[in-house]
Amino acid sequence: GQNIDQPTEMTATEGAIVQINCTYQTSGFNGLFWYQQHAGEAPTFLSYNVLDGLEEKGRFSSFLSRSKGYSYLLLKELQMKDSASYLCAVKDSNYQLIWGAGTKLIIKP
Amino acid sequence: GAVVSQHPSRVICKSGTSVKIECRSLDFQATTMFWYRQFPKQSLMLMATSNEGSKATYEQGVEKDKFLINHASLTLSTLTVTSAHPEDSSFYICSASTSRGSSEAFFGQGTRLTVV
């Protein structure tokens, strides 16, 4: 079966750095996505990786290793507004998005 | 990025009635639209995939007669929850893409449905 694993919850301090990991097992691979979702709102796009390596976009970076079925989202200079759920999703061979359960990130002052 | 508008954002309906949710792509043509349901503290669950001008493809366990999807144009898809029951209360989200290989799915704002 297809599976995406990410931690259920993480806690970090304002101003610090946090890394959210995601491992996947899917039938085929056509890209990995990270989305941010605040409670009661729809997800918003953060990043997309289809090749191995690090993609940097401001305070957020995303890394992919296809051979290991592994990705992480790195958030720097954490702000209180970064408190949200972070969803990892993979497009499989049918271009269907397979979603992880999300990681709830709690930022403390 | 592209904009997807979903309406209404919140709806409360009586048990047994039907509710229609609209999803519009405002500045691009969406060949494919996806409908998701999300229960509290859970991830997105794909309900169905709709392609313009053809019947929607429903995921296993999703009743097609209960969740009617219409994708009549390249900018509009609708989800109708028929004969709603309290267990249908959930957060419904649509997303749209321009092609299967699109590098991003654009999401609507979501609809919070409460059936009383």
Task: Tell me which residue in A33, A45, A87 faces B43 most closely, judged by beta carbons.
Answer: A87
Q: Helix, strand, or coil here: A80?
A: helix
User: What parts of chain B have a pLDDT lower than 50?
Assistant: none
**Residue B45 near residue B36 (C-beta atoms within 8 A):** yes
CB within 8 Å: A96 and B46: yes
What pLDDT sits at residue B32? 85
* CA distances to A10, A37, B17, B77 from A104, in Å: 6, 9, 35, 31
| Per-residue model confidence as pLDDT tens for chain A (109 residues) | 788 999 999 999 999 999 999 999 999 999 999 999 998 888 888 999 999 999 999 999 999 999 999 999 999 999 999 999 999 999 988 878 888 989 999 999 9
What pLDDT sits at residue B28? 83
What pLDDT sits at residue B29? 85
**Residue B21, exposed/middle/buried by CB under 10 A (0-12, 13-18, 19+)?**
buried
What pLDDT sits at residue B102? 58
CB within 8 Å: A42 and B100: no
A45: β partners: A35
**Residue A31 near residue A50 (C-beta atoms within 8 A):** yes
What pLDDT sits at residue A25? 96
**Residue A35 near residue A47 (C-beta atoms within 8 A):** no
Task: Determine the residue among A47, A50, A99, A103 to mutate to test chain B binding: the one whose Cβ has the most chain B Cβ atoms within 10 Å.
Answer: A99
Token pair, residue A48, equals: 């997309």
Characterize A56-86 residue by residue with b for buried, 16 or more Cβ atoms within 10 angstroms of its Cβ, and e for exposed: eeeebbbbbeeeebebbbebeebeeebbbbb
Task: Determine the residue among B39, B43, B92 to mutate to test chain A binding: the one whose Cβ has the most chain A Cβ atoms within 10 Å.
Answer: B43
Rounded to whole angstroms, how far apart are CA atoms B5 and B111? Answer: 11
What pLDDT sits at residue B97? 79
CB within 8 Å: A44 and B109: no
Residue A71 region by backbone torsions, left for phi larger than 0, else alpha for psi between -120 and 50, else beta: beta
Q: Which residues of B touch A30 (CB under 8 A)?
A: 101
